[in-house]
Chains A and B, each alone.
Chain A
Amino acid sequence: MSLVAEGLVVRYASRGFSWGRRSDERPAVDGVQVSVNKGEMVALVGGSGSGKSTLARCLVGMQNFASGKVSVDGTDVATLSRRETKALRRRVQMIYQDPYESLSPRQRVRAIVAEGLAIHGVDRDERDERVIATLVSVGLTPAESFLDRRPFELSGGQRQRVAIASSLVLEPGYLIADEPVSMLDVSVRAGVLTVLDNLRSTRDLGVLMITHDLATAVHVADRIVVMRNGRIVEEGTAVEIVHSPSHSYTKALLAATPGFHREMSTEAGDDQPGHVDQFGRAL
């Protein structure tokens, strides 16, 4: 069971009237093949202009593409009727980058998280239960204390968790997280990433995390896909990417990513010996 994009091509929208198409115009997404399996966390890494966010929008159904296909659990999205597409939309949900803009400023947490349920006709009592259960699963406890708060009363990390919760109520099969932590303070990033990883394992979710930060990707992802200028240049596990990169761009990314690894020494009391990441997986 997976979310698959094959041969996707997305062209930039033409601005105004131009005499014929400029042949040197590179597509935003140029023949991309990517897949996310259930229970897997894939990181899509690239700089700005690499097409990663455009690709993500295609997977969620918010971007039209010129050619290629997107399939969710084997069903080609293009073959569906409007109603079926809408139902399918529930299965692939997106988490946005900006925790300050992705929550409706005038609603309380209860309403924000219950929105999806309200849209799909779940009745009120069941809604409350599910909202509380979802808040717990994203680590916002005691859940009851969060219900009546408004976004401005929450920190960035809490807002992102609420955003995740609001997508989670629909019980999606896949989550596309577009730079979910890049606007958060470093000290809260791990918390949100842990939430995503827990959801991945407990609910067998397929998570595609878009990021420009290779270091974060290495810490949390099973597979890393490197994109540049609309194309995928390399793909592999975190270990492969870090220790045996093949493409020059990947190497450039590695070299440019700031880190302590040159100066770091293993501290006394460091309980993660050798090459094991925070989730206990061997690197």
Chain B
Amino acid sequence: MTLISVRDLVVDFRTSTGQVGAVRSVSFDLAPGERIALVGESGCGKTTTMLAMMGLLPESATVSGQVILDGVDILAGGESSMRPHRWNDVAMVFQGAMNALNPVRKIGNQVVEAVRIHGGTKRAGRERTRELFDLVGLGPELIDRYPHEISGGQRQRAVIALALACRPRVLLADEPTTALDVIVQEQIVALLKRLSETLGLAVVLVTHDLALVPQLCDRAAVMYAGSIVEDASCAELVNSPAHPYTRRLVEATPDLEGRRSLVSIPGVPPRLDRPLVGCPFQPRCGEAVDRCADDAPQLLQIGAARTCACHLTEELV
């Protein structure tokens, strides 16, 4: 059963150089307890997708499409339909914990505030704070500390606690481990996995680090230039990537055995302030055929629960 469904999400930004198409029709479904990653490099639209799901985009953004939670499109009514679900049903762990935490307030208070904003009492807030800190592995003595007094890993846990304050069912994690030590990173990932399993949380992980994905998620959607180019289970993605971009990403990601050679992808991603003609990856693809320049490939099913947007894989459909 599907908990939350994103359908044909399109986000455009109005900038001084024109309209920028940041997200071009993204769709995916999540069941409770399911964890999916949106993987891609800077500018591919993964963070924008997440922000759109929570209605946190600036005024210059035009959003269309649907975000269906419990059968209701929460995007349809704009802010008023989104608000009751924010934090109560869908919560976000922001990138860079330092940005998410108010530096002049104690972290315990910030969690209490989150509870109170959503209708709880101060006492309920304090209770909940103690519970949450315990849940994320922070000692109760940290409740009265300021963000700068605790370590980066602890701050990230605090931000996770903040996100869980109102018992959401969907957790959106935007690069939760950037700027963290590898060892702390592993702990945070393990924490998120445990929380998802015990609380039945559906998780959307946004990351540029493909190596991180199999550690937390079962499925991943690879994004490029605002659209999903491949959506498959992590095992399939890593072992037999179908889309050329996914393949190159896998090849570019180092791993300890050093068995493969590290490759970089020449060129740069396309500009999003112009309409895209043909496959967006075609100029850098290396495996492109004539068709790729004119004909944008559709996201087609190429296996059980596996899709890919590439002309070369169309025989597998």
Q: Could you list which residues of chain A lie within 8 angstroms of chain B, going by C-beta atoms?
A: 47-48, 155-157, 185-194, 212-216, 218-220, 238, 242, 252-261, 263-266, 270, 272, 274-275, 277-278, 283
Contact = CB atoms under 8 A, between A and B. Distances in A.
Nearest to A45: B182
B250 A260 contact: yes
Given A186-B210, A189-B264, A278-B263, 5 more contacts: A187-B249, A190-B263, A220-B262, A242-B256, A278-B260
B73 interface: no
B276 interface: no
A160 to B, nearest CB: 12
B262 A278 contact: yes
A2 to B, nearest CB: 25
Contacts of B248: 187
Given A188-B265, A270-B260, A277-B261, A260 B183 contact: no
Contacts of B121: none
B264 A188 contact: yes
Contact of B254 (A187, A192, A259, A283): A259
Contacts, number: 125
Across the A-B interface, give the 4 residue pairs with the lowest CB-CB distance, nearest first.
Answer: A259-B255, A278-B261, A47-B181, A191-B264
A92 B119 CA distance: 60
A185 B255 CA distance: 16
A256 B256 contact: no
A257 B265 CA distance: 23
27 contacts: A47-B181, A185-B42, A186-B208, A186-B252, A187-B41, A187-B248, A188-B264, A192-B264, A218-B256, A219-B254, A242-B257, A253-B183, A256-B182, A257-B182, A257-B256, A258-B182, A258-B214, A260-B214, A260-B238, A264-B259, A266-B259, A270-B260, A272-B260, A275-B257, A275-B258, A277-B258, A278-B260
B256 A214 contact: yes
Given A253-B182, A260-B238, A187 B255 contact: no
Nearest to A274: B259
Nearest to A273: B259
A100 to B, nearest CB: 11
Contacts of A258: 182, 185-186, 189, 209, 211-212, 214-215
Given A213-B182, A263-B238, A190 B211 contact: no
Nearest to A252: B183
B253 interface: yes
Given A193-B262, A252-B183, A258-B215, A185 B254 contact: no
Nearest to A217: B254
Contacts of B152: 48
A258 B181 CA distance: 12
B255 A215 contact: yes
Contacts of A277: 258, 261
A212 B254 CA distance: 13
Given A186-B249, A186-B252, A260-B253, A219 B258 contact: yes
B98 interface: no
Interface in B216-256: 235, 238-239, 248-250, 252-256
B235 A263 contact: yes
Given A185-B41, A256-B183, A265 B256 contact: no
A189 B42 CA distance: 13
Given A186-B41, A186-B210, A253-B183, A261 B260 contact: no
Given A263-B239, A265-B239, A278-B261, A256 B186 contact: yes
Contacts of A220: 262
A218 B41 contact: no
Contacts of A213: 182, 254
Interface in B20-36: none
B287 to A, nearest CB: 12
Contacts of A264: 238-239, 255, 257, 259-260
A260 B182 CA distance: 15
B187 to A, nearest CB: 8
B1 interface: no
A259 B211 CA distance: 5
A61 to B, nearest CB: 27
Given A213-B254, A258-B211, A258-B212, A219 B265 contact: no
B268 interface: yes
Contacts of A278: 258, 260-263
Given A214-B256, A253-B182, A260-B253, A187 B211 contact: no
B268 to A, nearest CB: 5
Contacts of A192: 264
A192 B184 CA distance: 27
A263 B214 contact: yes
A218 B210 CA distance: 18
A253 B181 CA distance: 9
